Chains A and B, each alone.
Chain A
Amino acid sequence: QQPVQSPQAVILREGEDAVINCSSSKALYSVHWYRQKHGEAPVFLMILLKGGEQKGHEKISASFNEKKQQSSLYLTASQLSYSGTYFCGTAYQTGANNLFFGTGTRLTVIP
């Protein structure tokens, strides 16, 4: 039930954009996005719910395609602080709190 993330790793220069994808083989109810810096705990970025509701930070955007069972995280005008590993967590049931996390996408932003 673990979702698949792509790419596994990406290197960007400051100011460039990136897209991280999260695909599931099962119908999704919600998708959560987290970022983890090396040696630290994951930090919440965004939640997308079936039906279109979103909760998250203003500077980060994401989409949720229910038919394709996938979500994409859009990072625009990247900054050095965006570096880290991005995880999507998926829930497959209404009211489910348990998440299945993908293997992560390592993003490195260089000057």
Chain B
Amino acid sequence: DAGVIQSPRHEVTEMGQEVTLRCKPISGHNSLFWYRQTMMRGLELLIYFNNNVPIDDSGMPEDRFSAKMPNASFSTLKIQPSEPRDSAVYFCASSLGVYNEQFFGPGTRLTVL
């Protein structure tokens, strides 16, 4: 099993640029989560999907953030325009059903200059 796959692993960009983070969940999992982790705020849930449908996006900080899940095997998190305070590690996780463990991807370390 390949686990959750995220790309890129590292992204350095300049303020104002568009950033797209990608995630491939574990095959067969029906829930997908996007998290952001910083020293100041810890691990925050941004949005989660169930069966490709966004269920809760209350954690998305601003309209600059958007997420899509066009099919069961792919999701994107987009930031447009990016700002230095968006610098963080972004994790994608997937799970099967409710009350089951979430499998985290390796994360994308984003640096906005």
Using CB atoms and an 8 Å cutoff, list the residues of chain A in contact with chain B.
2, 30, 32, 40-44, 47, 49, 55, 87, 95-104
> What total of chain B residues lie within 8 Å of the partner, measured CB to CB?
22
Smallest beta-carbon distance A98→chain B, Å: 5
Neighbour of A97 across the interface among B43, B95, B105, CB < 8 A: B95
Q: How many interface contacts (CB-CB < 8 Å) are there between A and B?
A: 51
Query: Is the Cβ of A2 less than 8 Å from the Cβ of B102?
Result: no
Alpha-carbon gap, A95 to B55, bound state (A)? 12
Using CB atoms and an 8 Å cutoff, list the residues of chain B in contact with chain A.
31, 33, 42-45, 48, 50, 55-56, 91, 95, 98-107
Query: Is the Cβ of B42 less than 8 Å from the Cβ of A44?
Result: no
Neighbour of A42 across the interface among B31, B55, B91, CB < 8 A: B91
Query: Is the Cβ of A98 less than 8 Å from the Cβ of B55?
Result: yes
Query: Is the Cβ of A49 less than 8 Å from the Cβ of B101?
Result: no
Q: Can you report 15 A-B residue pairs in the complex whose CB atoms are below 8 A from each other?
A: A2-B42, A32-B101, A40-B106, A41-B104, A41-B105, A42-B104, A47-B100, A87-B42, A97-B31, A97-B48, A98-B56, A101-B43, A101-B44, A101-B45, A102-B42
